[in-house]
Amino acid sequence: MPVKLLDESSKRFLIERYSHTEFAELDYALVRDFCDSAAHLPQICYSNGDLKNVQRAWTVKAILGTLPPGSKLLEIGGGVPLAAGMLAELGYDVTIVDPYEGAGNGPTEYEAYLKQFPHVKFARSYFNDELPGYADASFDGIYSISVLEHIPLADLDSIYRGIQKFLRKDGHSVHCLDIVVDGDRADAHKDILKKVFNLQKQLISGQYLQADSDRICDEMLGKLTGDLETFYLSAEGHNLWRGSVPYENFPFRKVISAQTCVSYLKG
């Protein structure tokens, strides 16, 4: 059966509440933001400890704050299309590009999602600059939720060539990433964050020195370690994603949600 997340009064409330909210080029999820989402976006913000609860809601808020309903959106690697479904109900034209092959603990229920979210368009494919059937500059916003940290570092350039190709001038590139800040693979995750943020900054100003974006990321990472409001993946969320993997092979790590939102100043 089709999934319906919002009634008409909820749509009006969300548009009015978040349509003029400003979002930083780089930030991290806060407990304050999670509590706001739990209160006002409970349809996509659950209480199971998963980072996606704060990420899905932040993404909807960021889209509402930067692009008006009616805008054309592309989600990279949509997974369970709860954010896309809500954005479609809010009046956005949403396309998900995802192979739905289960990579990175992702879902495979493609046929079910077609029926559950009839107002969302689906392209069963990987995202890059060779995506067939779509014209250059055909989207007002391109976003992802907990996807880019799963892309090999060397392949992120291909992702961003696709963003540069399919995003219109003054369109927005909006992404949430799970970033391990302490524990196994923390250094690798921080490298991914720095690479993504440098590519985001290049959307704004063409060439942007990696050293400058590294410095901004390091400042943010230093700030959040002492910020009581930092929203971390919970032990419950860790156990959820551990699945059947023995704990010895998947030990607990401190994980935050890094969030980036920029406008593409296309040359």
3-state secondary structure at position 211: helix
The pLDDT assigned to 78 comes to: 84
Question: Between these two residues, 208 and 108, which has the higher pLDDT value?
Answer: 208
Residues 6+ apart with CB under 8 A from 100: 106, 107, 108, 109, 110, 113, 124
Report which secondary-structure segment, H or E, holds 111: helix 110-116
For the chain, what is the mean pLDDT? 94
Judge contact between 194 and 221, C-beta under 8 A: no
The Cβ of residue 49 has, within 10 Å, a number of other Cβ atoms equal to 16
Query: What beta strand segments (E) does the chain contain?
Result: 27-28, 72-76, 93-97, 121-123, 139-145, 167-182, 254-263
Q: Is 90 exceeded by the pLDDT of residue 97?
A: yes
Could you read off the pLDDT of 214-260 as tens digits, one per residue? 999 999 999 999 999 999 999 999 998 898 999 999 999 999 999 99
Per-residue exposure over 163-183, b if at least 16 CB sit within 10 Å of its own CB, e if not: bbbbbbeebbbbbbbbbbbee
Residues 6+ apart with CB under 8 A from 73: 63, 67, 84, 87, 92, 93, 94, 95, 139, 140, 141, 142, 143
Q: Is the pTM of this model over 0.75?
A: yes
Instruction: Residue 89: name the closest of 6, 12, 15 by CA.
Output: 6
Could you read off the pLDDT of 104-130 as tens digits, one per residue? 555 667 888 999 999 999 999 999 998
Instruction: DSSP for 157-193, please give it.
Output: HHHHHHHHHHEEEEEEEEEEEEEEEESTTHHHHHHHH
pLDDT band at 148 (very low <50, low <70, confident <90, very high): very high
Q: Is 90 exceeded by the pLDDT of residue 89?
A: yes
Judge contact between 230 and 255, C-beta under 8 A: no
The pLDDT assigned to 48 comes to: 85
The pLDDT assigned to 110 comes to: 85
Structure tokens at 96: 């998900």
> 93-97 and 121-123: which strand pairing?
parallel
The pLDDT assigned to 73 comes to: 98
Please report, for the chain, the start and end positions of each structural domain, with discontinuous segments joined by +: 8-263
Q: What percent of the chain has pLDDT over 70?
A: 97
Question: CATH for 8-263, among 3.30.43.10, 3.40.50.150, 3.40.640.10, 3.40.50.300?
Answer: 3.40.50.150
Q: How far out from the chain centre does Cα 217 lie? A: 17
